[in-house]
Amino acid sequence: MILETILIILLIILLLVVSHELGHFLVAKWFNVRVDEFGVGIPPRLFGKRYGETVYSINWLPIGGFVKIFGEEEDINESRSFTAQGFWVRSMIVVAGVAANVFVGFLIFSFLAWYGTPRFFVEVAGVAKDSPAELAGFRSGDLIIGFDERTGETLEVLAVESYIANHKDRDASFVVRRGGEQLIIHGVPRTNPPAGQGALGITIEPKEFGIIRVPWYRAPFEGIKSTFKFLWLIVYGLGFLLKELLTHGSAPGEVMGPVGIAQVAEQTFHVGLYYFLQLIGFLSLNLAVINILPIPALDGGRILFFVLEKIKGTPIPTHVSRFIHSFFMMLLIALLLWITLYDIARII
């Protein structure tokens, strides 16, 4: 089981990091900037083959990949070096890694739309005695499929809970499937319910109810919608995390590091292909958002340096930028170790 989990997480890391580095590689090649090496895995090198001016290598440590662009780490004023390129070319090469991760997420979500998305509704698992739900006629096993005489292709537990919360002390209308029959049930959620009953008096849980598939020509549009939805959720989550850190001095309990992600990856791998691929797509978008943040050592931080150079009109000395990027990289590694220890403590 442990070996399987390790292999799964290594597979995910390779896919996400190599696709990120491939973005840098392809755009550098597009602008005729010299690329010295494109590597899968981290050195020491296991195997390498030169094609043209670039060495393509397979390396011993399967925890990512890298691309060596001529002049990226030092001032080399040659026409095909990274340093010699203008602001826009350097920026596009750097941001290409982020774009590649977004593209991977889009491809995965497009494929899943064609492959089939599980269709969920909300099942009534229990009805409290003398509650508004019982008086309205709810029964255990009822399937809530919509509100206010409108139904959809899928419905989440959170949507039902939100609807009930927004209809306290006023009429709430539920579309319910019971056996082969479709019913409209009206109830009035309470403001101050007895302990453990909830406003309406029902216990609900998600229930998978078939598969939604779209034709191949519609799949890209669904992929775009899912990509933007998840990007928004990630940005919102980062904003909430920052707010909690600034106002309370601590991160919320939902923060998850490599160990936690490995756990989730292993679980979703066994649940089914849809959920496993959805996780990979989400992680790819998450990597894109994290990388575009204007923090030194990240792609967004490098673009920030390009902007500062553009404003001041002269380049930032290489030894200064290298020191700042290295310092922040150590901080990021320390943060990653702290989150990993937090993950382990939570599991234990």
Q: What string of H, E and C letters represents the secondary structure of the chain?
A: CHHHHHHHHHHHHHHHHHHHHHHHHHHHHHCCCCEEEEEEEEEEEEEEEEECCEEEEEEEEEEEEEEEECCCCCCCCCCCCCCCCCHHHHHHHHHHHHHHHHHHHHHHHHHHHHHCEEEEEEEEEEECCCCHHHHHCCCCCCEEEEECCEECCCCCHHHHHHHHHCCCCCCEEEEEEECCEEEEEEECCCCCCCCCCCCCCEEEEEEEEEEECCCCCCHHHHHHHHHHHHHHHHHHHHHHHHHHHHHHCCCCCCCCCHHHHHHHHHHHHHHCHHHHHHHHHHHHHHHHHHHCCCCCCCHHHHHHHHHHHHHHCCCCCHHHHHHHHHHHHHHHHHHHHHHHHHHHHHHC
Residue 137 buriedness (CB in 10 A; 0-12 / 13-18 / 19+):
middle
What is the pLDDT averaged over residues 97-120?
Answer: 94
Task: Clarify whether residues 337 and 292 are in a common domain.
Answer: yes
Peptide bond into 220 cis (omega under 30): no
CATH number at residue 182: 2.30.42.10
pLDDT of 152 higher than 60: yes
pLDDT of 6 higher than 90: no
Task: Clarify whether residues 100 and 17 are in a common domain.
Answer: yes
pLDDT of 38 higher than 80: yes
Residue-wise pLDDT tens digits, 247-268 = 876 665 556 667 777 778 888 8
Task: Clarify whether residues 22 and 104 are in a common domain.
Answer: yes
Q: Give domain status of residue 191, yes or no.
A: yes
Q: What percent of the chain has pLDDT over 90?
A: 57
pLDDT of residue 151: 84
Q: Give domain status of residue 336, yes or no.
A: yes
Domain span including residue 186: 118-212
pLDDT of residue 156: 86
Task: Clarify whether residues 301 and 266 are in a common domain.
Answer: yes
pLDDT of residue 27: 97
Q: Give domain status of residue 49, yes or no.
A: yes
pLDDT of 126 higher than 90: yes
Q: Give domain status of residue 57, yes or no.
A: yes
pLDDT of residue 243: 80
pLDDT of residue 8: 83
Residue 68: which of 15, 28, 102, 96 has the closest Cα? Answer: 28
Between strands 172-178 and 150-151, the pairing is: unpaired
pLDDT of residue 20: 96
Range from 150-154, 234-238, 337-341 that averages highest in pLDDT: 234-238
Rg (C-alpha) for the chain, rounded Å, is 26
pLDDT of residue 272: 84
pLDDT of residue 75: 80
Number of neighbouring beta carbons within 10 Å of residue 73? 14
d(CA 59, CA 69) in angstroms, rounded, equals: 18
pLDDT of residue 253: 56
Last residue of a domain, one of 178, 212, 246: 212
Last residue of a domain, one of 190, 212, 234: 212
pLDDT of 46 higher than 70: yes
Look at the chain and report how many structural domains it folds into: 2
Task: Clarify whether residues 110 and 28 are in a common domain.
Answer: yes
Task: Clarify whether residues 267 and 320 are in a common domain.
Answer: yes
Last residue of a domain, one of 156, 186, 212: 212
pLDDT of residue 268: 86
Q: Give domain status of residue 242, yes or no.
A: no
What is the pLDDT averaged over residues 4-17?
Answer: 85
Task: Clarify whether residues 102 and 28 are in a common domain.
Answer: yes
Task: Clarify whether residues 101 and 51 are in a common domain.
Answer: yes
Q: Give domain status of residue 77, yes or no.
A: yes
Task: Clarify whether residues 47 and 80 are in a common domain.
Answer: yes
Task: Clarify whether residues 70 and 142 are in a common domain.
Answer: no
- Cα 329-334-336 angle, rounded to 5 deg: 95
Residue-wise pLDDT tens digits, 189-233 = 998 888 888 899 999 998 887 788 999 999 999 999 999 999 999
What is the pLDDT averaged over residues 305-330?
Answer: 88
Task: Clarify whether residues 105 and 150 are in a common domain.
Answer: no
What is the pLDDT averaged over residues 81-110?
Answer: 96
pTM for the full predicted model: 0.81
pLDDT of residue 63: 83
What is the pLDDT averaged over residues 307-336?
Answer: 87
Q: Give domain status of residue 226, yes or no.
A: no
In sequence order, the 6+-apart residues with CB closer than 8 A to the CB of 177 are 121, 142, 143, 145, 183
Q: Give domain status of residue 35, yes or no.
A: yes
pLDDT of residue 226: 94
The phi, psi pair for 145, rounded to 5°, reads -120, 0
Task: Clarify whether residues 109 and 53 are in a common domain.
Answer: yes
